[in-house]
C-alpha cells in the first residue's frame, strides 16, 4: 500500500506563506488594527514626551516674571489631553479591529486546513489517529492565530516606533536621533533574540509534550471504562500527571527564559534613557538645545519602550507559530494515496463485480494474496473465514478506502479507479462493524444515504429490524437526538441502526460486515431474513461468522490468510464431506 508523503521542512517564511496569504481578504481590517495600534503607541510617546517637556518648560518659564507671563500653558495642556484621548481611543479601536480580524482569519484557517486534509480521508488519516488529528486541528490552528496579533503587529509597531522616535528626537538633535535609533534597535533585537535562542529548544519540547499529552488524555478518556474495569486507570492517571508535570516544567523554564530577556530589556531601557538624557544634556550645554527638550527626549525614549516590551514574547510566539505551520503544512501537503477522477472515465455496463489477482500488504505483511472473485448482478454472497483472514480488507478495497498493490477491481468491466468518488459511493451501501452516529436527529442519521426517504419507510425499516420498541421509547421519535457517539443505543441496537441506514440507501451493491453480531438467535434470523428481502434485486456481500445464515446465500466464499480457499453454493459444499465448509460445520458441531 502506498503511503502519503509528507513534505520536507522549509524556512520560516516559506512555512508561513500560505497562512500570510489567508490574510489578504481581511487586509483592510487588519491594516486598520495595525494603524490604530500605531496611533495608540504614538499617542503614548507624544503624551509622555509632551508632559515631560511641559513640566520642565513650565518650570523654566517660572524662573522669571517675564517668561512666566508669556508662556502659553493652554496649547501644551490641550496637546496632553488630545494625546490622552487618542491613546485610549486608539487602544480601544485597535482591540476591536484586531480581534475581529483575528476571528475572521481563524475561521478561514480552520476551513483551509479542513479542506486540505479532507482528500486524505480515510486512508492517510487512519495512520495519524483521531486524538492526534483533533489536537492538530485545534492547538496548531490556534497557534497560527497568534501570527497576526502577537507576532506581526508587535514587530511592525516596534519598528515604526523606533523610526518615529528617532525622527522626532533627530528633528531637535540629529546626533541624538541616531543614538536613539541605534539604542532602540539593539534593545529591540537583543532581548528577543536571547529569549528565542535560549527558549526555542524548550518551546519545541513544550509543544511536543503538550501535543502528546492532549492526544493521550483524549485516548485514555475514550477508553476510561476499559481501563477502570481492568484496574489500570490509577496507573494511567499517574502517567498522565507525570507527563503534565514534565510539560509544566518546560513551561516554567520558558517563563524563566522570558523573564531573563525581560530583565535584559529593562536594563537596556535604563541604559538607553540614561544615554539619551546624558547626550541631550551635553547637546543642550554645547549646541544650545533648549533645556526643556532634554526631558522630552528622555521621556520619549522611555515611552517608545512600551512598543518594544512585547517583542520577546513575539519572538517566542514566532517559534511556536512556525512549528504549528510546519506540522499543518506537512499534513495538508501529504499526497492523498487515493485519487478519484472528477468524472467517470467510462460507464460500467452493469453492477457486476470482478476482482483479479488482487494483492495487498500492510507494512510489508501480505494481507491479500492473489484474490480472484466475481459477484454477479443480484447475487448474494457470504464471506466467511478465520479472524484476520482479510475479509474486511476486501470491503476497504471495494470502497477504495485503500488501493491494491497489484491486481484489478472492476465494476461492470470498468476499473473502480476510473469512477468519480460520487459515482463509486452511490453504487455501494455499506454497514461496517463500527457504526458511527452523528450529532443530528435519528431521522437525519438514517437518511444519510437516501435524503428523500419518508418517515413511514424509516419506521417500517426499524420495525423489521426489531428496533420498533426502541423507537417508541424515544421521547421525540425520529426527531430525537442520540447521545454523543450513540451511547444511548446498545451495541446490538447500534449495529442494526447502521444496517438500517445501509438498507435504506438505494445503492445496487450492499456490503455488510457481520450484520447480526451480538444479536440473539431469534432477532438474528429476523434481521437476516429482512436483509435478503431488502436486497432482492440488489447484489449483497455479507461477512459473517454464523454458519446458520449461509443457506439463504447463493454462494459462500471462505477466505483464509489472504486467499480464497473455497467457493461454492453453501448447500452443495455442506454436503461434500471433504469441503472446508463441512470441516467448519464439524468444528462447530452444527
Ligand atoms: N490498517 C491496517 N494496518 C495494518 N494492518 C492491518 C490494517 N487493517 C487490517 N490489518 C491486518 O490485515 C489482516 C486482515 O485484516 P481484516 O480486518 O481484513 O481481517 P478480517 O478477515 O476481516 O478479520 P475479522 O473477521 O476479525 O474482522 C489482519 O492481520 C489485520 O491485522
Run means of pLDDT, 10 residues per run, the chain, 590 residues: 48 81 87 91 87 79 65 76 92 91 86 79 65 73 81 89 89 89 90 78 84 86 86 91 95 87 85 90 85 82 83 78 83 75 92 95 90 95 91 93 93 95 93 87 89 90 92 89 75 90 93 88 90 93 88 92 91 87 76
SS3 content of the chain, % helix, strand, coil (to 5): 65, 10, 25
User: How far apart, in whole angstroms, are the C-alpha atoms of residue 249 and residue 416?
Assistant: 53
Residue 33 Cα distances to 90, 99, 105, 149, 201, angstroms: 9, 9, 13, 9, 32
Calculate the alpha carbon distances from 223 to 79, 133, 219, 229, 482 in Å: 65, 17, 6, 10, 20
Q: Provide the pLDDT for residue 551.
A: 87
Ligand 1 centre from 114 Cα, in Å?
Answer: 28
If DSSP codes are grouped into helix, strand and coil, which group holds residue 369? strand
Q: What is the pLDDT of residue 92?
A: 94
Q: Is the CB of 387 under 6 A from ligand 1?
A: yes
Q: Backbone phi, then psi, for 589, in 5-degree steps?
A: 50, 50
CA angle centred on 78, ends 72 and 81, rounded to 5°: 145
Verify whether ligand 1 is closer than 6 Å to residue 535 (CB atom).
no
Q: Which atom of ligand 1 is the closest one to the Cα of 433?
A: 27
User: Which region, left, alpha or beta, applies to residue 388 given φ > 0 means left and ψ of -120 to 50 means alpha?
Assistant: left
Residue with cell 455501494: 428
User: Which residues are paired to 430 by β-bridges?
Assistant: 511
Closest CA relative to residue 128, chosen from 9, 323, 137? 137
Ligand 1 center–CA 339 separation, angstroms: 23
Task: Supply the pLDDT for residue 6.
Answer: 45
Within 13 Å of residue 508, how many CA atoms lie on the same side as its CB? 15
ipTM of the complex: 0.96
Strands 380-384 vs 428-431: parallel, antiparallel or unpaired: unpaired
pTM over 0.80: no
Contact 297, 169 (CB under 8 A): yes
Nearest-angstrom CA–CA distance, 401 and 336: 11
Cell of 450: 437516501
C-alpha separations of 154 from 37, 109, 305, 422 in Å: 9, 21, 12, 48
Rounded-to-integer distance, Cα 191 and Cα 197, Å: 10
For ligand 1, atom 17, which residue shows the shortest CA distance? 392
Q: Is the CB of 362 under 6 A from ligand 1?
A: yes
- Distance between CA atoms of residues 511 and 538, nearest Å: 11
CA of 76 to the centre of ligand 1 (A): 81
What's the 557 CA to ligand 1 centre distance in angstroms? 17
What's the CA gap between 40 and 34, in Å, rounded? 10
390 alpha carbon – ligand 1 mean position (Å): 6
Q: What local confidence, expressed as pLDDT, does residue 56 receive?
A: 80
Give me the domains of the chain, ranges plus CATH numbers.
Answer: 12-332 (1.20.1560.10), 353-588 (3.40.50.300)
Asked whether 294 and 280 are in contact (CB, 8 A), the reply is yes
Environment class of 333 (CB within 10 Å of its CB; exposed 0-12, middle 13-18, buried 19+): middle
- Find out whether the beta carbon of 391 lies less than 6 Å from any atom of ligand 1: yes
How many CA atoms within 13 Å lie on the side-chain side of 490?
9
**Atom 18 of ligand 1 has which residue's CA nearest to it?**
390
Amino acid at each position: 500500500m502506498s503511503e502519503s508523503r509528507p513534505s520536507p521542512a522549509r524556512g520560516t517564511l516559506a512555512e508561513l506563506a500560505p497562512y500570510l496569504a489567508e490574510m489578504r481578504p481581511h487586509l483592510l481590517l487588519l491594516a486598520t488594527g495595525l494603524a490604530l495600534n500605531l496611533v495608540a503607541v504614538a499617542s503614548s510617546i507624544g503624551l509622555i514626551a509632551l508632559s515631560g517637556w511641559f513640566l520642565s518648560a513650565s518650570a523654566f518659564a517660572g524662573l522669571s516674571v517675564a517668561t512666566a507671563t508669556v508662556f502659553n500653558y493652554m496649547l501644551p495642556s490641550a496637546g496632553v489631553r488630545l494625546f490622552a484621548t487618542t491613546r485610549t481611543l486608539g487602544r480601544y479601536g485597535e482591540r476591536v479591529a484586531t480581534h475581529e480580524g483575528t476571528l475572521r482569519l481563524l475561521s478561514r484557517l480552520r476551513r483551509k486546513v479542513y479542506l486540505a486534509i479532507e482528500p486524505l480521508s480515510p486512508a492517510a488519516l487512519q495512520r495519524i489517529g483521531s486524538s492526534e488529528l483533533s489536537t492538530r486541528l485545534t492547538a496548531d490552528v490556534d497557534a497560527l492565530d497568534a501570527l497576526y496579533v502577537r507576532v506581526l503587529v508587535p514587530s511592525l509597531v516596534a519598528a515604526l516606533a523606533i523610526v518615529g522616535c528617532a525622527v522626532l528626537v533627530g528633528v531637535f538633535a540629529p546626533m541624538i536621533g541616531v543614538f536613539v535609533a541605534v539604542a532602540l534597535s539593539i534593545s529591540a533585537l537583543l532581548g528577543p533574540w536571547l529569549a528565542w535562542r535560549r527558549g526555542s529548544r524548550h518551546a519545541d519540547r513544550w509543544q511536543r509534550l503538550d501535543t502528546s499529552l492532549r492526544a493521550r488524555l483524549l485516548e485514555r478518556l475514550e477508553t476510561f471504562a476499559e481501563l477502570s474495569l481492568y484496574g489500570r486507570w490509577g496507573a494511567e492517571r499517574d502517567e498522565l500527571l507525570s507527563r503534565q508535570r514534565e510539560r509544566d516544567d518546560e513551561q516554567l523554564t520558558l517563563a524563566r527564559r522570558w523573564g531573563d530577556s525581560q530583565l535584559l530589556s529593562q536594563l537596556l531601557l535604563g541604559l538607553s534613557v540614561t544615554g539619551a538624557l546624558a547626550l541631550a544634556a551635553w547637546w543642550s550645554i554645547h549646541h544650545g538645545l533648549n533645556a526643556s527638550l532634554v526631558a522630552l527626549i528622555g521621556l520619549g525614549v522611555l515611552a517608545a519602550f512600551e512598543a518594544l516590551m512585547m517583542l520577546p514574547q513575539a519572538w517566542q510566539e514566532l517559534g511556536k507559530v512556525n512549528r504549528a505551520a510546519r506540522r499543518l503544512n506537512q499534513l495538508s501537503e501529504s499526497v492523498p494515496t487515493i485519487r478519484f477522477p472528477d468524472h467517470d472515465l467510462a460507464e460500467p455496463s452493469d453492477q457486476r463485480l470482478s476482482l483479479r489477482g488482487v494483492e495487498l500488504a500492510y507494512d510489508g505483511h501480505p494481507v491479500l494474496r492473489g484474490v480472484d472473485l466475481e459477484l454477479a448482478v443480484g447475487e448474494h454472497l457470504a464471506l466467511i473465514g478465520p479472524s484476520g483472514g482479510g475479509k474486511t480488507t476486501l470491503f476497504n478495497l471495494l470502497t477504495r478506502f485503500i488501493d491494491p498493490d497489484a491486481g484489478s477491481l472492476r465494476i461492470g468491466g470498468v476499473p473502480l479507479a476510473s469512477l468519480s468518488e460520487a459515482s463509486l459511493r452511490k453504487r455501494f451501501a455499506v454497514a461496517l462493524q463500527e457504526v458511527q452516529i452523528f450529532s443530528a436527529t435519528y431521522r437525519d442519521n438514517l437518511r444519510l444515504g437516501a435524503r428523500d426517504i419518508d418517515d413511514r419507510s424509516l419506521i417500517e425499516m426499524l420495525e423489521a429490524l426489531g428496533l420498533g420498541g426502541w423507537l417508541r421509547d424515544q421521547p421525540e421519535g425520529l426527531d430525537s437526538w442520540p447521545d454523543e457517539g450513540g451511547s444511548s443505543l446498545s451495541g446490538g441496537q447500534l449495529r442494526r441502526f447502521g444496517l438500517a441506514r445501509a438498507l435504506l440507501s438505494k445503492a445496487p451493491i450492499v456490503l455488510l460486515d457481520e450484520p447480526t453480531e451480538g444479536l440473539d438467535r431469534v432477532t438474528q434470523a429476523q434481521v437476516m431474513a429482512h436483509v435478503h428481502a431488502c436486497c432482492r434485486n440488489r447484489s449483497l456481500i455479507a461477512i459473517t461468522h454464523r454458519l446458520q445464515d449461509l443457506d439463504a446465500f447463493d454462494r459462500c466464499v471462505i477466505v483464509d490468510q489472504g486467499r480464497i480457499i473455497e467457493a461454492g453454493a453453501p448447500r452443495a459444499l455442506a454436503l461434500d464431506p471433504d469441503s472446508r465448509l463441512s470441516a467448519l460445520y464439524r468444528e462447530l458441531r452444527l
